[in-house]
Chains A and B, each alone.
Chain A
Amino acid sequence: MSMREPDADVIIVGGGLAGCSAAIVLARAGLTVFLMERGDECGNKNMTGGRLYGHSLEKIIPDFAKEAPIERIVKHEKISLMTEDGSLDIGYQSGKLSSSPENASYTVLRAKFDAWLAEKAMEAGVEVIPGIKVDHIVVEDGKVIGIESDGEEMIANCVILADGVNSLLAQELGMKKELEPNQVAVGAKETIRLSESIINERFGLKENEGTAWLSAGDPTLGGFGGGFIYTNKDTVSIGIVATLSDIGYTDVSVPEMLDRFKEHPSVAPYLEGGEVIEYSGHLVPEEGMAMVPELYRDGVLVTGDAAGLCINLGYTVRGMDFAIESGRLAAEAVLRANEIGDFSANTLSYYETLLKNSFVMKDLDEYKGFPTLLTKRAIFKDLPEMVDDIAAKLFVVDGKPNSGLIMGIVESLAQRTSARELVDFITILLEAF
């Protein structure tokens, strides 16, 4: 702790899900908390695909979905392998999906959702300070003692960095390295207004029920990444995610990929007559465990996207539930430090212990092979073409003699892969799982 009188017990940088979650837990315990947000309101710099798995926010605000501005509750899952004119889809709808608040997932729009969570933080007593960009972290004798914005300093016992994937502050402190192209993907998204009833009809949804639809193959023309579609209340979020290390694999730019994806024959009918109301872009941390930075030092903790806490399994993408849990656990560690009056790295290391004992690190560890899997051309190019070929053999009847199902599959495989490649691919798959 500095000799200087603190302005607040804790300063949190970033009013997204991690920052707001940490703020609520700290303020409820009676600490004075400043929450600094560079947007003109919390959420205004944030974007998701996106779907929020609700379990971690349930721990902070039980039954939050009853009052939060969620869009729809996800009851339909769909994944597709797409070729230029085809799509092999797997759909799943079940009473098991979102059957309780603990396993429910919701489509959300972050500008609305985060603003609500910041409102909850204010109700808990947090001083939310929007419109302020934190330029630097103030360090004294090797310890973080506050923040600096526009030349003015604010001092606190502890700083929580929740400043998102481009955490220049964690980088400035040396806790986090510069992001590398294989660690992140760029997402580009349109929010398209239809009407509630048209969305229900086209996607086969009951009122308030939503679809999460991920696809690979043609959306990125075989590049690493994919397409996503989420149904909101009266809008549809549609976008492309493309891993930066694979940019240039095709000559089609990311914005053009999105235009193409919207025109794909299996996508276009859902969007017909829609009106684009917003266009957004953001980076997604994708490397999982391998990109997690130093999580704590004297007087400082790193949470959420800033800590790279995100997993992309292809069929499901999670980041927001990790952000919320990491925010809550950072707050728990700070509360303990506050009790003993010691905010040293030694005390704050409790945050890492809590994270390791939580689903956050357990899941990141469980799926640490996935980032490797998702840098295989086989997944994004060969597999969609192969399954399209097999499906065509199954379903197209033209009166010509048929080579039989098994031979057809063997032919499709043999045309696209060698035995060795196949064995390699299966090995990677097994390692990932």
Chain B
Amino acid sequence: MKKMSIDDKLALDLFRTDEEHPHIIVDLDYKDEEEIRKLVLACPAKCYKYDEGIFSFSYLGCLECGTCRVLSRDKIVKEWNHPHGEIGVQYRQG
């Protein structure tokens, strides 16, 4: 099978986005690279990126698994909640 980028994979999913209410609040000034590395490696949607010393995050494309909350609660992940009703990923297969 041809290799797909994560963006191509996420584009197959149905999302209802709410760009005004992030359900995850992240501290992008967090400096501990080990902590950042865990999230970059674990997030199935690659919401966390660390390129050339720049740490970035987007909750759009989030699959709401809770991995980042468990790994970095009160460190990088300041707030993590389920999105509002009807918002976020809506699996058609699951």
Pairing of A with B: yes
What is A's interface to B at a CB cutoff of 8 Å?
Answer: 38-41, 43-48, 109-114, 130-133, 149, 165-166, 168, 178-181, 184, 186-188, 190-192, 235, 242, 244, 247-248, 251-255, 259, 262-263, 268, 271-274, 276-283
Hey, which chain A residues are within 8 Å of B66, CB to CB?
165-166, 179, 184, 283
Q: Is the CB of A251 within 8 A of B41?
A: yes
**A273 to B86 Cα, complex, angstroms:** 34
Q: Is the CB of A131 within 8 A of B85?
A: yes
**At the interface, is chain A mostly helix, strand, loop or mixed?**
mixed
Q: Is the CB of B70 within 8 A of A38?
A: no
Q: State which of A131, A132, A166, A242 has its C-beta within 8 Å of the C-beta of B69.
A: A166
- A114-B94, A186-B65 given as contacts; is B85 within 8 A of A279 (CB)? no
B82 within 8 A of partner (CB): yes
Q: Is the CB of B67 within 8 A of A283?
A: yes
Chain B's closest residue to A36 (CB) is B85
**A275 to B44 Cα, complex, angstroms:** 19
Chain A's closest residue to B9 (CB) is A279
Hey, which chain B residues are within 8 Å of A263, CB to CB?
1, 3
Chain A's closest residue to B43 (CB) is A254
Q: State which of A38, A268, A281, A283 has its C-beta within 8 Å of the C-beta of B1.
A: A268
Hey, which chain B residues are within 8 Å of A181, CB to CB?
70-71
Q: Is the CB of B1 within 8 A of A272?
A: yes
Chain A's closest residue to B64 (CB) is A45
Hey, which chain B residues are within 8 Å of A251, CB to CB?
41
B6 within 8 A of partner (CB): yes
Hey, which chain B residues are within 8 Å of A179, CB to CB?
66, 69-70
Chain B's closest residue to A272 (CB) is B1
**A279 to B81 Cα, complex, angstroms:** 21
Q: Is the CB of A279 within 8 A of B13?
A: yes
Hey, which chain A residues are within 8 Å of B3, CB to CB?
259, 263
- A40-B86, A110-B94 given as contacts; is B64 within 8 A of A184 (CB)? no
Q: Is the CB of B1 within 8 A of A274?
A: yes
B12 within 8 A of partner (CB): yes
Q: Is the CB of B94 within 8 A of A280?
A: yes
B38 within 8 A of partner (CB): yes
Count how many pairs of residues, one from A and one from B, have CB atoms less than 8 Å apart in the complex. 151
Interface string of B24-56 (1 = CB under 8 A from A): 000000000010011011111110000000000
**A47 to B3 Cα, complex, angstroms:** 23
Q: Is the CB of B94 within 8 A of A276?
A: no
**A276 to B9 Cα, complex, angstroms:** 8
A334 nearest CB across to chain B (Å): 25
Chain A's closest residue to B88 (CB) is A45
5 contacts between A and B (CB under 8 A): A39-B91, A110-B94, A166-B69, A242-B42, A248-B37
- A38-B85, A179-B66 given as contacts; is B42 within 8 A of A43 (CB)? no
Give the size range of B's interface with the partner. 35 or more
B22 within 8 A of partner (CB): no
- 6 residue pairs, one from A and one from B, having the closest CB atoms: A281-B44, A110-B94, A111-B94, A281-B63, A188-B44, A279-B9
What is B's interface to A at a CB cutoff of 8 Å?
Answer: 1, 3-4, 6, 9-10, 12-13, 16, 34, 37-38, 40-46, 63-67, 69-71, 73, 81-86, 88-94
**At the interface, is chain B mostly helix, strand, loop or mixed?**
loop
Q: State which of B41, B82, B84, B86 has its C-beta within 8 Å of the C-beta of A254.
A: B41
Hey, which chain B residues are within 8 Å of A46, CB to CB?
91, 94
- A166-B69, A247-B71, A254-B44 given as contacts; is B85 within 8 A of A280 (CB)? no
- A133-B82, A181-B70 given as contacts; is B42 within 8 A of A278 (CB)? no
Q: Is the CB of B83 within 8 A of A133?
A: yes
**A168 to B86 Cα, complex, angstroms:** 18
Q: State which of A131, A187, A252, A253 has its C-beta within 8 Å of the C-beta of B86.
A: A131
Q: Is the CB of B46 within 8 A of A280?
A: no
- A248-B41, A281-B63 given as contacts; is B82 within 8 A of A235 (CB)? no
Hey, which chain A residues are within 8 Å of B70, CB to CB?
178-181, 184, 244, 283
Q: Is the CB of B46 within 8 A of A255?
A: yes
**A297 to B86 Cα, complex, angstroms:** 30
**A40 to B66 Cα, complex, angstroms:** 19
Q: Is the CB of B85 within 8 A of A278?
A: no
- A45-B64, A47-B91, A188-B44 given as contacts; is B13 within 8 A of A280 (CB)? yes
Q: Is the CB of A43 within 8 A of B94?
A: yes
B30 nearest CB across to chain A (Å): 16
Chain A's closest residue to B61 (CB) is A279
Q: Is the CB of B93 within 8 A of A111?
A: yes
Interface centre among A113, A180, A253 (most CB of B within 10 A): A253
Hey, which chain B residues are within 8 Å of A273, CB to CB?
1
Interface centre among B34, B38, B41, B63 (most CB of A within 10 A): B41
